[in-house]
Chains A and B, each alone.
Chain A
């Protein structure tokens, strides 16, 4: 990278950090209570909600891990991201509309709170809050680790701080998130998400065009890939490099599991008018589709460039994006990509930390029959504590945190998607079915993933699954089955009185 390009990248990143802090200051002045802190006042319009949901959904994985996975697995990896074609509609039809209506009949600031209200049960709320916390520990930790690595790369802190480089870089990145998330809560979170989402869309579309141009167009890219034995025709076949159960298991987890992601669903509680959801799939699905162009573009262009000898073969697949950007993108675009990665990481982190602090200071105390006197103050304190704990965990147990981060999506999906998808649409689901499903999803995912990936205890057995089966998909299917089986005997509709507004919401 030339000194001029490096200067541009540093300038853009510093400007981006400054803008995030300014938004934090602006939001802090408007945050007077828990309603602003946890649900941004509940007055957001369609476009803001859609963009904030999109940027919370996509972490740095979209920019780094996704193209790297394509380099390794071929287009089978796209089973993870292509469901964005319909998950936006699924979210609105199946969960978003009724979640928003639950917020219409009373104070609902969190997903566990919405479940507690739906099932008139503190137990369900507590189980959901625990699932959220377990899911975000790894997710947030892995975002902190990625934030540190990107900050280190952009600012070149390794030369300045040596062995302390990663802790210093992680600390600096974390301080920015900490400043705006603590001061401005979710109000700062959503407006920074909008800026971050805008940056991600612009960057992704530009990178896609650049990747196509660098590869010589789709036909030439495909021809180069097929002609190289390291990739071959299988690279472009959906099941070419992954068994059916793995490829479609990813499709299952990343489509249906989306219905259980609290950092996305939380945004529906902030919408000012439930009727504006009508156009949400167009806004959310359109912006998500624009973003995955980056994954598609780099994921296909890099192997083609490697096949032609224009890039050396990658020793680590996750180097696909940095290698392409540094070698083939114009300096401004390269700077935008690195800032875009930071934006993607930070937008996910701020959403996660907010719902985590809500679970700690609002859901769990209320589930146990007590209330904190000042939820705003405690919410800010919990935000600080969570971010510090996540950064400390990430730096101390990096491998373990990365491991937890890789299956956090599946954990929250298996624990919460069935109870939300069926519980909000079928009155027969009662509190016992809901609790059983959440616990089953949580325990099954953690148990199977741990057995499948752990190497700390060699004596433990591997999970009893067919080769290629994904633990996350197994847990999600099991959680659905348990919910339906218990609901069949429970007759949960009896928990709701005839004039209960929750019943009215479920019947709308």
Chain B
């Protein structure tokens, strides 16, 4: 594990803690800008969790596309929804106002496309091969034959 990834991981965990705090605080205390804080915090979770899960692979074109795309889409959409909420506007397309359209596109259709493609890409560039699986099974077999006490079982 590289030092660069260790630092990145620490940053991700700190950001997750801040996001959790940002999701919690506005529910307990009414603060100025609490809606914005809550929105930014909850929209950050998916991308941060994917970044943590991808590990060192997060810093690859596929990983950065997945994480950056998800972060931009979700954060951009919730901020756009907050900006549009008090503006009385007529329909933009399909009879829906801009907020309704942004919600459908930014939280559903575009992430669906992004995630389906990015997952194939991140899996292709870092896929497990037969050797990896064989190594994993062999490691497990060695531990079992050595009488490994499997706690939790």
Listed in ascending order, the chain A residues whose CB lies under 8 Å from chain B are 75, 78-79, 82-86, 88-90, 92-95, 97-98, 101, 104-106, 113, 115-122, 124-125, 218-223, 226, 233, 236-239, 244-245, 248-249, 251-252, 255-256, 259, 274-275, 277-282, 285-286, 289, 366-367, 421-422, 424-426, 464-466, 469-470, 473-474, 476-478, 480-481, 484-485, 499-501, 504-505, 507-508
Contacts and interface: CB of A to CB of B under 8 A. Distances in A.
A93 B140 contact: no
Nearest to B80: A238
A175 to B, nearest CB: 35
Contacts of B16: 422, 480, 484
Given A219-B94, A426-B52, A466-B27, A252 B45 contact: yes
B49 A94 contact: yes
A425 B128 contact: no
A50 to B, nearest CB: 12
A89 B100 CA distance: 24
B138 to A, nearest CB: 9
Contacts of A259: 49
A501 B136 CA distance: 6
A407 to B, nearest CB: 16
A404 to B, nearest CB: 22
Contacts of B137: 104-105
A79 B104 CA distance: 10
A183 B25 CA distance: 49
Given A465-B27, A501-B140, A237 B115 contact: no
Given A104-B136, A106-B144, A106-B150, 13 more contacts: A82-B108, A85-B108, A85-B109, A88-B116, A105-B137, A223-B95, A226-B91, A236-B97, A239-B82, A245-B34, A256-B45, A425-B52, A500-B143
A425 B119 contact: no
B95 A117 contact: no
Contact of B107 (A82, A277, A465): A82
B59 interface: no
B116 A469 contact: no
A233 B88 contact: yes
Contacts of B109: 85
Contact of B21 (A113, A122, A481, A499): A481
A367 B152 contact: yes
Contacts of A425: 49, 52-53, 55
A124 B153 CA distance: 11
B20 A244 contact: no
B72 interface: no
A508 B120 CA distance: 17
Contacts of B97: 233, 236-237
Contacts of B38: 244-245, 248-249
B99 to A, nearest CB: 5
B8 interface: no
A251 B107 contact: yes
B80 to A, nearest CB: 10
Contacts of B85: 237-239, 244
Contacts of B55: 425, 507
